[in-house]
Amino acid sequence: MAAYQAPPPEFRELPDVPNKLEPDATAHLSPFVAKPEHQTDIGFPGELVDNWEEKAIDKMGELLGKYRSFQVYMDSCVKCGSCTDKCHYFQGTSDPKNMPVARQDLLRSVYRRHFTFAGKYFPKLVGARDLTREVLDEWHSYFHQCSQCRRCSVFCPYGIDTAEVSMAAREIMDSVGHGQKYCNEILGKLQKVGNNLGLPGKALKATLAEFAEEIEDDTGLPVKIPLDVEGADILLITPSADFFAEPHIDGLMGYAKVFHEAGVSWTLSSYASEAANFSMFIGSYSNLKTVAERIRKAALDLGVKRIVVGECGHAWRVAYSFWNTTAGIGSGAAEDDEFAQALQKQLDHNYPIPQHICEFTYDLVQEGKLRFNKEENDWRTITFHDSCNVARGSRMGSWAGGQFDIPRAIIKAAANNFVEMDPATIKEVTYCCGGGGGLLTDDLMEIRVKGALPRMEALNEVVEEQGVTHLAAICAICKAQFAKILPIYKFPMDMITSTHQIVGDALVMTGSIQEKELDGTDDESDEETAGSEES
Amino acid sequence: MGLMVEGKELETDEEGYLLDLNDWTREAGAELAKTENLEMTDSHWEVIDFLREYYDEYQIAPAVRVLTKAIGKKLGKEKGNSKYLYELFPYGPAKQACKVAGLPKPTGCI
């Protein structure tokens, strides 16, 4: 099935600079174009429109007026070169067009032609060019070789954010009828069925019952994974991969155990059974709002007091940075938006709105409300992969860097063996897994394999030197990408682990089989133990 | 693009998934398996049959965990794990087995 069958790139001696440039090394990569129904389902023209060149320029002009940041990014690059070697796709492919500055220039050259004096009259002098079919195809190719991870922007002295440039390029392409199949098909399903998978309510209910049964078999406790429970305190919004894929499912079972042990009432929603919101990847604010409003509707209908978000990287960026103004989850909704205003009043402001599942678990750990048997995880030596959108697009906790500290703290609370990868590859300078930003599709397998190179190199180092056996993540895309990519780099597939899987495996729940095994079953055995100590 | 089955061309998408699941027959399944370089055995067909039954009821393929549990219950515990399924369908039971079963490709972060 995967078209890309070649071996992965070899690990480099100095994992920073490619050996030599290979122009157009990945020019042949371009994802499937969205079918007409994928486009029209989410409000875009079905196919390339008449006068598309003109309409694309008009759209660019509209975005320049709407997003001041985009205008600044188009104008302010001084070609200093700081970003050039910071992109994992450049490192993995050696294709110079995967240098962030070159990627921006694919759009900037057209911007100059139409929106600057010099470009209008002396295009050749300033590297300005017309928007032709070749340019459009080049955009479709190289703006889908960017996972919008924003690592390059950390190193840009002007703070130019290539992710926003990529989003703008994709929005322009969508607006003239030339979108990407993967993102747009999924967004259509999400708006019709309620999740990216297209998992209907009946199937979701049956699936959750199976997982609950598995937890009960394991713990001896009637742990539930509730669905559509009106009046529950907490609505959990989690990526639908948590209902379907490995190791995501084990993360979901971990959340369920934590909620049960915390004694809170919680629920999932079949109407809003998705945390992901690919609208961000395609730069579509209108779709982003439509999707976020599903969550608002579910929260209002169920009457919940809190909203907690499961392990999903870009979803947490959307939740943390955009839910407030788009849906009233958090403060800042428009005064005339009655539903958002109603929800702002309904939610309990004693808790973060929204709250990350890691924050939820962390608070319980801090309060001493969770008991762990860390030995359960002794067979693992764990390292943690910071997801780009959590690391650079959001935060956790109430202090700077909380998004780095909190997931690590809960892993360390549940496990004895934790090590870090090379500091140049984690936290704010973390590398993308290689599959983010709408690239997690089989038709882009080659760029996914090559883009994973820097992360695989850093992982390999801790595997060889410190015996790491597991890579923990807090993002559905990272988990799915690594499950596919690890075997290609000769690591075991099940090395990738949900963070709440590690939590769940060590959690000693009150009244559980695990608790009885640790403490003895009843008074009699205590006496026996006491007796044997005396003799 | 299409799939030739017994002299008739069935419509498929860019990745070779059947567009209409009603087009599926056992012969079509065998042809689909060839496109994936799979040597179909009875063990493969057991999984395919389960997938189609599940799809009939739920309009979606089962989660891998649901599949492994069902296989384990039906065919014995030693077969109820994802390792067994990956041996049968190396590119992943969800996507590859769905293709052979004539079901739509599962989408999302999977």
ipTM: 0.94
Give buried/exposed letters for A174-185 (b at 16+ CB in 10 A, else e).
bbbbbbbbbbbb
Stretch 22-41 of chain A: residues touching chain B, C-beta under 8 Å = 32
Q: Is residue B92 less than 8 Å (CB to CB) from chain A?
A: yes
Residues of A in contact with B91 (CB under 8 A): 1-2
pLDDT of the residue at A18:
60
- Nearest-Cα distance to chain B for A111, in Å, is 33
Query: Does residue A21 carry a pLDDT above 50?
Result: yes
Q: Is residue B81 less than 8 Å (CB to CB) from chain A?
A: no
The sign of the CA dihedral B8, B13, B16, B21 is negative
Q: Quote the percentage of chain A above a pLDDT of 90.
A: 91
Q: Nearest-CA residue of chain B relative to A183?
A: B108
HEC sequence for A257-275: HHHHHHCCCEEECCCCCCC
Residues of B in contact with A185 (CB under 8 A): 107
B15, B96, B109: residue with CB nearest A476:
B109
- Nearest-Cα distance to chain B for A199, in Å, is 6
Query: Does residue A525 carry a pLDDT above 80?
Result: no
Query: Does residue B24 carry a pLDDT above 80?
Result: yes
Stretch 11-50 of chain B: residues touching chain A, C-beta under 8 Å = 14-15, 36
* Angle (nearest 5°) at CA A134 between A131 and A136: 60
Stretch 196-235 of chain A: residues touching chain B, C-beta under 8 Å = 196-200, 202-203, 206-207, 210-211, 214
Amino acid at A209: A
Could you tell me which of A35, A159, A178 has the C-alpha nearest to residue A100?
A: A159
Amino acid at A37: E
| pLDDT tens per residue, range A387-428 | 999 999 999 999 999 999 999 999 999 999 999 999 999 999
| pLDDT tens per residue, range A257-308 | 999 999 999 999 999 999 999 999 999 999 999 999 999 999 999 999 999 9
**How far apart, in Å, do the first and last CA atoms of chain B sit?**
25
With beta carbons less than 8 A apart as the criterion, state whether A294 and A194 touch.
yes
| pLDDT tens per residue, range A161-203 | 999 999 999 999 999 999 999 999 999 999 999 999 999 999 9
| pLDDT tens per residue, range B38-48 | 999 999 999 99
pLDDT of the residue at A533:
42
* Angle (nearest 5°) at CA A338 between A337 and A341: 85
- Residue A309: what are its φ and ψ, rounded to 5°? -110, 130
User: What is the SS3 assignment for A36?
Assistant: helix
Residues of B in contact with A244 (CB under 8 A): 63-64, 94, 106, 108, 110
pLDDT of the residue at A20:
84
Residues of A in contact with B21 (CB under 8 A): none
Residues of B in contact with A186 (CB under 8 A): 107-108
HEC sequence for A307-327: EEECCCHHHHHHHHHHHHHHH
pLDDT of the residue at A534:
40
What CATH fold (topology level) applies to the domain B2-100?
Arc Repressor Mutant, subunit A (1.10.10)
The residue-averaged pLDDT of A123-146 equals 97
Q: Is B63 within 8 Å of A207 when comparing Cβ atoms?
A: yes
Amino acid at A456: M
Listed by start position, the domains of chain B span: 2-100
Q: Just list the catalytic residues of B.
A: 109
